[in-house]
Chains A and B, each alone.
Chain A
């Protein structure tokens, strides 16, 4: 725990540490889902503190859709090395063979195959019985009711009507063979808490969160960064260089940038406090229809 942290963040950190230690103690084969974003960076940082001076007793797992920003992949490898933890990267090779991509298949199929199915494949392949995720309850409506320890059937399904009540900080970790638990240590953090914590603890994050001139095109009203040659351009279209940053990071063709001059953490936090849009607004996968996140979760999306 950190003495220099404000009491509010200290309590959130302590809660996350408590959750991680419960998982380490009570599960046979836990894993930490590492998605490279700011929430994953915080989760990894807290894990290192929870088990210091030992290394956390679980590996990191990244389900790679093959469409992440190049800067994310470089950051991922460096972060795992710094942490001294094993990093497992899983790609849904079947999806790759089928030519699934956000461009050709659309966001919904791409996410279902490369993310949701990819994750299920990885969890089955390595036999993990608990997986940490960096999701927060303030992100989206159906997340607000998610448990910290979220029980999944042997087919990874989530049943919102049959969740275990969660009282105090006493977590029921018991599962049958084949079943698993998704665990969200940052459940009670808000987006602002995450950034404040990153600032107080000097945590490195992917530079894409900070404003810089980047090549972008407009797709369905969103600013999409042209990260490599796989993004098809209209005849005669050329990417524009604009000063943008990202509030949330996913597959680059599905992640909208925002115009910004916030090049430092302090500037960015100030900008966010004045913001009038929510962070998932840049996520194209949520806007399909209301309740779309809940549908994805029932199918096993994180």
Chain B
């Protein structure tokens, strides 16, 4: 076959996974070597490296070719996803090499997200291990339908057919619980090249084809073309007033001029006018193509909208169930606000309910309050606005999302949407005849939340009490929510773990919001150690209504004061999760007001607050 013919075949993206020492990197190195994808200069560097770092005596250690970063070479393990490229006369390949170490589940999920096929490596001497089950589960979760079970190191069990048969049978039992379309088992030795690209003379009992043959012939073209049309809009192209193009990559289906499409969110419909390309308009485009469409009618479309076939629209909801793979050292906390990026859309979301964690060793459901690094859970997620989506098994583009930590900007989790929650559509907000503005006007005041945050013993409650007294004296209608008091009633079921602290603040925020609806000035005195939750409360109410007041006292001063004797006990180890001692406090970066609470008397601090409220027009000047 000529070079040009080879390029007519779609590239196969596959990943290799297996336990530590199963020989993943060796397998890829061997594939590259046998396909002449290692150049002379790379090979001579490899021989040099093999002598320095290698683990296979005088032979070439193919793993060194694949393990790229210096640190990894020293440790002898792959710590990240590495992408490798090779081609045969029949097909081009992109290989994701993913780690076997159990703490690196996140990297494996990353590699799996863009793969069409997975090679699961098993050491013939060891058979299926816990890690094999985990990897098989993640491969299935990310909806890779095709699996090759590579029974490696078969040379170390004397090319024994019985060993191969037993492992294949064990895997068959495991695969029954998972959603694979095809499973192919190959006995091989990556180190010596048996059944890699050439059939092995040492295993006459096996006639099922080499690893390379299976890779070359794998039919993974799960055709997105037959699915309904979806185009997440990435970019609006407006070079001049006469042209308005909608740009994006087609997630599924096909499109032609004349097709009726709908904006999934608003429900507005329009007709496709042109598929614009530099070399001339196109007659059609299909899944995977990056296009620019123009429409006959002028309708409102923005980045993040999903254009869909008018007759087959995706669900639109603000609550759904999803599988989440957690990828951050900071635990997932229900109630905390994260940013969700789904296709071209970014919206704030909260996990409203963590239903269970999945034990990836046996697929059992475990009760969980949080998700830690490399844990997988099923949760309900609420978005701040309704969004269009599909289930992940229907569409890997409109059904997949990442969760971003709003403080660090880290990619904290990856999610796969299961289904919309009907609850969202059935609970309609009750329109109220008397509104917030009317209630506030009757009291001649402006509602606000004064949020006092700071360490225990900083003087939050003392200052808040003084402020309330002063406001009350001026005829302002107020209410006070105090951390300690709330925990005796509304939040008596909550403790002091990170997860419970988040929920504590979320509930208080919701109550404070209801109080502002009543037109009140709400004083809240809570340690509230996390920036994310303070921001959550801020976003619950109208812009300008939330005033963050940082009662800033040095920890030493708080310890010296210790009004409730808590620091003494925390320092003695008697109280766990104590802010400032065994749990961190995230200082506000831009509070509306910062009070120097170390030395200044509380009375003066309260006056500062009153002055600020006057300056901002919350209360009248006298």
Q: Which residues of A contact B (CB under 8 A)?
A: 1-3, 6-11, 13-15, 17-18, 21-22, 24-25, 48-55, 137-138, 141-145, 160-161, 163-172, 174-176, 187-188, 190, 192, 196, 269, 273, 275-278, 281, 290-291, 294
Docked-complex contact B400 and A145, CB < 8 angstroms = no
Residues of chain A within 8 A (CB-CB) of B66 are 144
B107 contact set on A, CB distance < 8 A: 165
A144 B84 Cβ-Cβ under 8 A: yes
How many chain B residues touch A (CB < 8 A): the figure is: 75
Candidates B83, B106, B291, B339; contact of A188 at CB < 8 Å: B83
Please encode chain B, from 53 to 97, with 1 for each CB lying within 8 Å of some chain A CB and 0 for all others: 000000000000110111100000001111111010000101000
Q: List 17 A-B contacts (CB under 8 A).
A: A1-B290, A2-B279, A8-B7, A8-B11, A14-B290, A17-B249, A22-B234, A51-B235, A137-B85, A144-B84, A160-B69, A160-B80, A168-B396, A168-B400, A169-B114, A170-B401, A190-B92
Judging by beta carbons under 8 Å apart, are A18 and B290 in contact? yes
> Within residues 13 to 43 of chain B, which ones have a CB less than 8 A from any CB in chain A?
36, 39-42
CB distance A167 to B113 under 8 Å? yes
Query: What residues on A are CB-neighbors of B343 within 8 Å?
Result: 170
Selected from A160, A176, A290, the residue in CB contact (under 8 A) with B409 is A176
Question: How far is A218 from B75 in the complex, measured between Cα atoms in Å?
Answer: 40
The interface residues of chain A lying within 8 Å CB-to-CB of B397 are 168-169
Q: Report if A7-B109 is in contact (Cβ < 8 Å); known contacts: A14-B290, A165-B411, A176-B409.
A: no
- Binary CB contact string for chain B from 151 to 170 against chain A (1 if under 8 A, 0 otherwise): 00000000000000000000
Chain A: which residue is nearest B243 at the CB level?
A53
Closest A residue to B11 by CB, please name it. A8
State whether A190 touches B9 (Cβ < 8 A). no
Quick one: which of B210-255 are within 8 Å of A by CB?
234-235, 237-239, 243, 245, 247-249
Residues of A within 8 A of B48 (CB): 290
Smallest CB gap from B283: residue in A: A3
Q: What number of residue pairs across chains A and B have CB atoms under 8 A from each other?
A: 175
Complex interface: chain A residues within 8 A of B39 (CB): 275-278, 281
Which residues on A sit within 8 Å (CB–CB) of B4?
Answer: 6
Contact status A13-B290, CB under 8 Å: yes
Which of A9, A55, A166 neighbours the largest number of chain B CB atoms within 10 Å of its CB? A166
Q: Does B102 contact A (CB under 8 A)?
A: no
**A48 in contact with B80 given A277-B40, A278-B42, A290-B45 (CB within 8 Å):** no
Dominant SS at the B interface?
A: mixed
**With a CB–CB cut-off of 8 A, which chain B residues contact A143?**
68
- B197 in the interface, Cβ–Cβ < 8 Å? no
Q: Which residues of B contact A14 (CB under 8 A)?
A: 249, 288-290
Contact flag A53-B239 (CB < 8 Å), given A145-B80, A168-B397: yes
Answer yes or no: B590 CB below 8 A from chain A CBs: no
Give the interface centre of B36, B68, B247, B277 by most chain A CB atoms within 10 Å: B68
B498 interface residue per 8 A CB criterion: no
Once bound together, how far apart are the Cα atoms of A25 and B343, in whole Å?
13
Minimum Cβ distance to chain B for residue A178 (Å): 13
The 4 closest A-B pairs by CB, nearest first: A54-B239, A17-B290, A6-B7, A278-B39
- When C-beta atoms are compared, the residue in chain A nearest to B414 turns out to be A167
Known contacts: A3-B282, A168-B396. The answer to whether A21 contacts B82 by CB under 8 A is: no
> Please, which residues of chain B bring their CB within 8 A of the CB of A164?
410-411
Contact between chains at A290 and B411 (CB < 8 Å): no
What's the nearest-Cβ distance from chain B to residue A194, in Å?
12
Query: Is B276 an interface residue when CB atoms closer than 8 A count as contact?
Result: yes
- The CA of A170 and the CA of B70, in the complex, are separated in Å by 28
For A176, list chain B residues within 8 Å (CB): 409
Q: Which residues of A contact B481 (CB under 8 A)?
A: none
A196 CA to B3 CA in the complex, in Å?
10
Quick check: A168 and B113 within 8 Å, CB to CB? yes
List A contacts of B288 (CB < 8 A).
Answer: 10-11, 14
Counting CB contacts under 8 A, is B124 at the interface? no
User: Of B36, B71, B278, B344, which contacts A161 at CB under 8 A?
Assistant: B71
Residues of A within 8 A of B8 (CB): 6-8
State how many angstroms separate the Cβ of B114 from the closest Cβ of chain A: 7
| B500 touches A (CB below 8 Å) | no
Cα distance A198–B344 in the bound complex, in angstroms: 30
**Which of B7, B68, B84, B400 has a CB less than 8 Å from the CB of A167?**
B400
The answer to whether A142 and B289 touch across the interface, beta carbons within 8 angstroms, is no
Report the nearest A residue to B248, measured CB to CB: A21
B310 at the interface (CB under 8 A from A): no
Known: A165-B414, A170-B402, A175-B409. A21 touches B235 (CB 8 A): yes
User: Which residues of the other chain, B, contact A8 by a CB distance below 8 angstroms?
Assistant: 7-11, 92
